[in-house]
């Protein structure tokens, strides 16, 4: 199973929001990382056949996204602004959606109960949608996207607004579903994909800055991350000269975690980069070039 994206671009009027993207997405969990406005939602809407590319094509298991009906059978989609029938119950909403997608009665009920169990909502079948917490709503969104048992699951910024526990729980849930499937998860937070995605693409201003393993992205910042402590009087020049990843006031001065191509001074301690460091380094490089 794979998704092959070939020279994809998207324009809204004169504005090009996706620029000639080529990418292969393999089975498992795939992260799409980028700042707000990078083009993640535009890209995912094309993958979900809700928007038509200006140029290029996507093949999902050999089927072009132009074959909308066939592709829709293959994909499940959880939009960024997911909301459904807030006055219905959890079960009622899913049952209704299942009816709309022509799932036969018996299969529909069985599937809904199985899914509600998997997304840990089986005690909430009678809860009204409007009474669910943010995390529960997102989990209902996943159940909705998986109703027709798709091979490809597309999830747009699902962790936004979730508290840390819900976030971890939700990530683990997606990871469970990625067995034998492709799960594409977009986010602007590197740590969302650090623990769960084997592969990642970084989108910036409509361009793919990086695609490959999360480990390779992390290593972009190898030998570039330093810890230094300086007196408070040097706060301004440090901030002006370096990209500061982290700043901490201590008794002896201010401790900075910074990006630098060379050691900033003799006392600087080199640090092992995190995925976020690799991502930040990449964005910094791109800023420098533009």
Residues lying near Mg ion in the complex (CB under 5 A) are found at: 40-41, 80
What is the β-pairing status of strands 152-156 and 182-187?
parallel
Q: What is d(CA 162, CA 193) in angstroms, rounded to the nearest whole number?
A: 15
Under 8 Å CB-to-CB from 215, ≥6 apart: which residues? Answer: none
Under the criterion CB under 6 A, does residue 159 sit at the interface with ligand ADP?
Answer: no
Which residue lies nearer to ligand ADP by CB, 45 or 224?
45
Q: In this structure, what token pair is assigned to residue 49?
A: 């056949």
Query: 194, 171 in Cβ contact below 8 A?
Result: no
Q: CB of residue 230 vs Mg ion: minimum separation in angstroms?
A: 38
In terms of Cα–Cα distance, which of 89, 86, 85, 57 is closest to 71?
Answer: 57
Place of tokens 């590319």: 53
Binding of ligand ADP by 37 (CB under 6 A): yes
The nearer residue to ligand ADP, 43 or 281, going by C-beta atoms, is 43
Over the Cα atoms of the chain, what is R_g? 22
CB 214 within 8 A of CB 201: no
Rounded to the nearest whole angstrom, what is the least distance from the CB of residue 53 to ligand ADP in the complex? 13
One residue of 3, 41, 91, 173 binding ligand ADP per CB under 6 A: 41
Q: Candidates 36-44, 117-125, 191-199, 277-285: pick the segment binding ligand ADP (CB under 6 A).
A: 36-44
C-beta of 40 vs 257, nearer to Mg ion: 40
Indicate which of Mg ion, ligand ADP, none lies near residue 189 (CB less than 5 to 8 Å, by partner kind): none
- Residue 202 touching ligand ADP (CB under 6 A): no
Interface residue with ligand ADP, options 38, 103, 142, 185 (CB under 6 A):
38
Closer Cβ to ligand ADP, 11 or 122, answer by number: 11
Q: What is the chain's percent helix, strand, coil content, to nearest 5? A: 40, 30, 30
Q: Which of 42, 49, 159, 214 binds ligand ADP (CB under 6 A)?
A: 42
> Under the criterion CB under 6 A, does residue 34 sit at the interface with ligand ADP?
yes
**Site mask for ligand ADP (CB under 6 A), range 4-33, x = bound:** --------x--x-x----------------
| Token code pair at residue 22 | 């080529």
Burial of 178 (0-12, 13-18, 19+ CB in 10 A): buried
Size of the site for ligand ADP (CB under 6 A): 11
CA distance linking residue 90 with residue 274, whole number of Å: 39
* CA 127 distance to own-chain centroid: 28
Which positions lie near ligand ADP, rule CB under 6 A?
12, 15, 17, 34, 36-42
């Amino acid at each position: 199973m794979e998704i092959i994206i070939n020279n994809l671009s998207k324009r809204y009027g004169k504005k090009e929001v996706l620029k000639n993207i080529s990418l292969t997405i393999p089975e498992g969990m795939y992260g799409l990382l980028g700042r707000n406005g990078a083009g993640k939602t535009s890209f995912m809407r094309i993958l979900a056949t809700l928007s038509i590319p200006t140029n290029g094509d996507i093949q999902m298991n050999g089927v072009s996204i132009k074959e909308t009906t066939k592709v829709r059978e293959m994909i499940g989609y959880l939009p960024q602004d997911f909301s459904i029938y807030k006055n219905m119950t959890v079960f009622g909403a899913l049952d209704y959606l299942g009816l709309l997608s022509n799932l036969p009665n018996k299969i529909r009920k069985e599937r809904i109960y199985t899914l509600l169990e998997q997304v840990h909502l089986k005690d909430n079948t009678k809860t009204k949608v409007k009474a669910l917490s943010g995390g529960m709503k997102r989990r209902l969104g996943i159940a909705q996207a998986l109703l027709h048992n798709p091979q490809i699951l597309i999830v747009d910024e699902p962790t936004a607004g979730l508290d840390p526990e819900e976030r971890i729980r939700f990530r683990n849930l997606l990871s469970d579903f990625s067995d034998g499937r492709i799960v594409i998860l977009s986010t602007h937070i590197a740590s969302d994909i650090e623990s769960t995605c084997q592969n990642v693409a970084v989108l910036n201003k409509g361009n793919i800055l990086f695609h490959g393993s999360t480990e390779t992205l992390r290593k972009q910042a190898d030998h570039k991350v330093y810890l230094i402590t300086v007196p408070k009087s040097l706060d301004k020049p440090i901030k002006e000269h370096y990209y500061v990843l982290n700043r901490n006031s201590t008794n002896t001065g201010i401790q900075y975690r910074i990006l630098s191509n060379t050691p900033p001074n003799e006392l600087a301690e080199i640090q092992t980069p995190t995925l976020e460091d690799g991502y930040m380094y990449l964005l910094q490089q791109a800023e420098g070039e533009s």
